[in-house]
A and B are shown apart, each in its own frame.
Chain A
Amino acid sequence: MGLEAKLTNDGFLTSTVDAVVSWARKNSVWPMPMGISCCAIEMIAAADPKYDIARFGSEVMRFTPRQCDLMIVAGTVTFKMAQVVRRIYDQMPDPKWVIAMGACTSSGGMYRSYNVVQGIDQFLPVDVYTAGCPPRPENLLNALMTIQEKIGKYKARDFRNRSLEELEYDRN
């Protein structure tokens, strides 16, 4: 990177806090894999040696929501599971983003039936929708790159402390 060049030249560099914070934040997005069904296998395939998600900074796929900032909902969400997904989303600390992976999460997919939620945006705010059934791992990496671009545009002061009532915390 040009960082070493700058440092050896003058010995210091100037930047805005926003730029540094968003650079750090977008290159270390830790995903929370909400792997429910078939798309979960393609998500694991995105982490395997061929499609390597680790080179984007998402090395750590922790299954605990407290340490993650991106939730990848991969798989069909049923009504029973929607309560669980919402609860896990509430447990993630701010700032957080959501990728709706695949057709089932975007719109119910090929399942027009009594037990499948026709799109998770009925109860979660979604940032990126990914098409495919299941989406190829390259598609998931593209979604991740789009999220990284989106994170890069935030200013650090957008995430000032908000009180619990403003966040509409669903105490259930």
Chain B
Amino acid sequence: MEPRDIIVDKIKSAFGSSLEETSDFRGDLSLTISKDQLVPAATFLKEDRELQFEMCKDVTAIDWATGKKRFTVVYHIYSFKLNFTLRLKVNIDNNPPSIESVTHIWRGADWYERETFDMYGIEFINHPDLRRIYMPQGFEYYPLRKEFPVMGIPGSLPLPKKAE
């Protein structure tokens, strides 16, 4: 059987009710699951004997700039056994945006979640060390949200005084 069929069958049998959408655009399989089933699904994907999704490649978010379900948190995970990269998506809304952290499942997700917090303001519950990673610690805005201008807010980042 193809890896994608194995994965879809297993997820449907274990988490059928919370699997919202499956998509197969240009050969990439992506599954949308609901927010409260994220940690059980992720644990299942890692520990199942046939799947073994051991490596977390990326955690990021998309800002759709709509009213309801503004953000989608996207996880890319890889299995050495099946040689397959899977995409998991979770839709969350903006009041305020928060989601469970998967750092206790995949240790590599640590810095990716910090980066998503820094850029979008999504809070990861139970993250061991949620700080900003790129912008300075006291920065008040979230740069990759759609309302933040490309040139930045003047005065938000101070420069040293001109010398001489």
- What residues make up the interface of A, taking CB atoms closer than 8 Å to B? 79-80, 82-83, 86, 89-90, 112-115, 117, 122-125, 167-168, 170, 172
B135, A113: Cβ atoms closer than 8 Å? no
Q: How far is the CB of A98 from chain B (nearest CB, A)?
A: 9
Q: Which residues of A contact B152 (CB under 8 A)?
A: 113-115
A114, B162: Cβ atoms closer than 8 Å? no
Interface residues of chain B: helix, strand, loop or mixed (majority): loop
Interface residues of chain A: helix, strand, loop or mixed (majority): loop
Q: How far is the CA of A123 from the CA of B164 in the complex (A)?
A: 9
Q: What's the interface size class on B, roughly? A: 10 to 19
- 9 closest Cβ contacts across the A-B interface? A114-B152, A79-B157, A86-B160, A123-B160, A125-B164, A123-B159, A123-B162, A80-B136, A82-B159
Q: How far is the CB of A35 from chain B (nearest CB, A)?
A: 20
Q: Which residues of B contact A115 (CB under 8 A)?
A: 134-135, 143, 152, 157
A170, B151: Cβ atoms closer than 8 Å? no
In this complex, the member of B151, B162, B163 whose beta carbon has the largest number of chain A beta carbons within 10 angstroms is B163
Q: A79-B157, A80-B136 are in contact. Are A114 and B163 (CB under 8 A)?
A: no
A114, B150: Cβ atoms closer than 8 Å? yes
